[in-house]
Structure 1
Amino acid sequence: MKENQISTGRFIDGKEIFAVELTNSLGSKVKIYNYGAIVSEFIVQNAIGEQQDIVLGFDDIDGYLNEDYVSNDYPYLGVVVGRYSNRIKDGKYSIDGVDYEMAQSLHGGLIGFDKKVWDILPTVDPSLTLQYVSPDGEEGFPGKLTVQLTFKLSDANELILDYKAVTDAPTALNLTHHTYFNLNKNGENIADHYLRIPAGNYLAQDKDYVVTGALVPVTGTRHDFLGGKTIGQDWDAAEGYDQSFVLDKPYGELGLASETTETSSGLKLEVYTTEPVAHFYTAKYLNTATGKGGRAYGPYSAFCIETQHYPNSVNVPEFPTTILRPGQTYAQTTIFKVSHT
């Protein structure tokens, strides 16, 4: 694996934005910005010998900073999400009897980790390690939190994400990466992608997509991907999927979260994670007019597999905790592995 760091010439609050390219012996390339830890490109050779970019994004950093994009149903294209991914009921929770309140927004507040310029740390091997120090009280979260995210691109076409975090006061933490994938060689609707999710239960949600605490068996529902099926086979065409699945694997161990294949490219994407939940989203609200090459991105033009802890755990005592305390280290690994079918 090799790495190459390129200045974009853009600064935010005096901090320079860089693009870092990781390449491997197979000719694959991943481009990551230290702004939002954005995965902007993931280029692989498909089964018919073509170079194919399998993630949505923009041609350059300006697209991610464009005010129309940021303010128009902002879709979190390719970013890291934090401090807390998904939805917290009414933006309120308690830690050790102390009440906290944050903006009622998706994915960690109004200006989350996705809109920060992260520091690039030195590494020994060819990889990229980004660090962000979130001050006490940022977006309503207590404690000074230091987060590191390391990206590696293996010669087995695995994009490996290793997260670590420490805090100086108890805080709520649930990190994920919001990469949008499309394996079709022409970037067409993802309804025909074939998906398997090894999850016997999904998490019930209220009308605002907030997890309630109930586990629901997938058997006999449109959420049953245990044996694999096309994404569009059982979906509600007006809704798609925006659902959290509880993975059938030991808690905290690295295991399969999903497997997706696509016929035109002959590509297969496997996602492995140490996290207990995979949130599957088919981009219902995506509405971006000027993506790569001027391409418009609309609903169902991509899918996300957001590996994370149980959403809204801070308000559901029965769920595994998402409270990080001083002296503890938050750690998770997620791997996106690309191969041919």
Structure 2
Amino acid sequence: MSSSSIQVTQEVFGEIRTSDGIQPVTKFTLTNPLGVKVQLITYGASVSNVFVPNRKGELHDVVLGFDDMAGYLKPENPYFGSTVGRVANRIAKGHFNLNGIEYQLVRNNGDNHLHGGNVGFDKVVWQAYAHRDGKITFTHSSPHMEEGYPGHMFTQVTYTLTDFNELIIDYKALTDRPTPVNLTNHSYFNLAGHNAGSQQLLNHRIQLCANQYTPVDSGQIPTGQLASVDGTVFDLRSETLLGEVIEKIPGGGYDHNFVINDSKNKFDNRLPLVAKIWHSESGRIMELFSNQPGCQIYTSNGFPADGSLVGKDGTVYSTHGGLAIEAQNFPDAINQPHFPESVLQPGEVYHRTIIYKFSTQ
């Protein structure tokens, strides 16, 4: 037991080969007194498992992922549970101008740059430190011009599991040169269980605290407009059954950024409420709180239909099998002057927080 009420254990999860040799990958398990369990791996500073109870008290894993490193190293891994950066989401044509200097990043998503490039933060082994109070801190030092980004940037991600069934993710970053930064977690949730499939995901209800969203072009790059959700399939301000709206969306599902309302929630005055998700059959509820200005909702529209994406317990993950709900800055913010600031300056501290809170009804 740690000095807090959270029990922490660790084990070898696997290894990867890099230019520096073989690097071991460690899995940490955090367990609170209620039996809620969160498992983290040093590869990508990723969330690999989240076991939470249903209304009967039965624990099930509610995030998609893999059983071993072989799965996480597959090219078809859709960023399961990972910390994505240096810039999450898309940058148009992988290009931006910063202080009069033109930068060209790799184009790894059609014509655009996605989630930090070919070897983003999701594809490196982070250093880890287990605190005596049960927190786990991951660190990564990203050198100047890694994946084309300026500045040597130091990043720290701290995970905390509380006695109140909250998973808190705290991000901090420093840089020695101006550089764009946008960090988030890329977990895919299915509150019926990671192996429950698309039918159960479509039985989820969602409520999102967003009066606006950012329309996109054919390459999923924002047009620059902040559009009202009124009268559209993007109006999720009241409880909405996913199965009733998802097929009405061009592309067969959500892959859109929403502009989060800046309001405090009466149940948690630390951070604004971003979203709430219900699964009626299991009784599970997940609330998302964050100080990020936006939230990307992705309903795994691009998962292969041929059964080739095989995850934990031999589960085939297919279209609409999981919901990624990513609190972050707006896509392509570095190229959109009226979007929230995305550049971290030397001497500043980038600090963002995400809380996933689980309960039942």
TM-score (normalizing by structure 2): 0.90
Kept in 2: contact 1:12–1:117 (CA 8 A):
no
Distance (Å, rounded) in 2 between the aligned partners of 1:157 and 1:60: 26
Query: Size of the alignment, in residue pairs?
Result: 335
**Is structure 2 residue 189 aligned with structure 1 residue 172?**
no
Kept in 1: contact 2:42–2:138 (CA 8 A):
yes
User: In the alignment, what sits opposite 1:119?
Assistant: 127
**Is structure 2 residue 113 aligned with structure 1 residue 102?**
no
Distance (Å, rounded) in 2 between the aligned partners of 1:184 and 1:279: 21
Superposed, which structure 2 residues align to 1:1-341 within 5 Å? 1-13=6-18, 14-65=22-73, 69-70=74-75, 72=76, 74-105=77-108, 106-185=114-193, 187-189=196-198, 190-236=201-247, 239-249=252-262, 254-287=271-304, 288-341=308-361
> Which range moved further: 51-60 or 136-145?
51-60
1:281 CA drift (Å): 0.4
Kept in 1: contact 2:13–2:41 (CA 8 A):
no
Distance (Å, rounded) in 2 between the aligned partners of 1:250 and 1:268: 21
1:228 CA drift (Å): 1.5
Kept in 2: contact 1:179–1:304 (CA 8 A):
yes
Kept in 2: contact 1:75–1:285 (CA 8 A):
no
1:177 CA drift (Å): 0.6
Q: Cα deviations across residues 192-216 of structure 1 (Å, max 9, x unaligned)?
A: 1000001000001111111121001
Q: Cα deviations across residues 79-101 of structure 1 (Å, max 9, x unaligned)?
A: 11000111101110011111101
Q: Cα deviations across residues 53-112 of structure 1 (Å, max 9, x unaligned)?
A: 1000112222212xxx31x3x411111100011110111001111110101222111110
SS of equivalent to 2:71: helix
% same residue = 39
Kept in 2: contact 1:261–1:268 (CA 8 A):
yes
Kept in 1: contact 2:207–2:236 (CA 8 A):
yes
For structure 1, list consecutive stretches of 5 or more residues without a partner in the other structure: none
TM-score (normalizing by structure 1): 0.95
Amino acid at match of 1:7: V
Which 4+ residue blocks in structure 1 deviate beyond 6 angstroms? none
Q: Cα deviations across residues 10-48 of structure 1 (Å, max 9, x unaligned)?
A: 244343210011110110111100001111100011112
SS of equivalent to 1:214: coil
1:240 CA drift (Å): 0.8
Amino acid at match of 1:75: P
1:122 CA drift (Å): 4.8
> Which range moved further: 293-302 or 1-10?
1-10
Q: Cα deviations across residues 139-172 of structure 1 (Å, max 9, x unaligned)?
A: 0100000000000110111000000000010001
1:9 CA drift (Å): 4.3
Q: CA RMSD in A?
A: 1.5
Kept in 1: contact 2:157–2:169 (CA 8 A):
yes
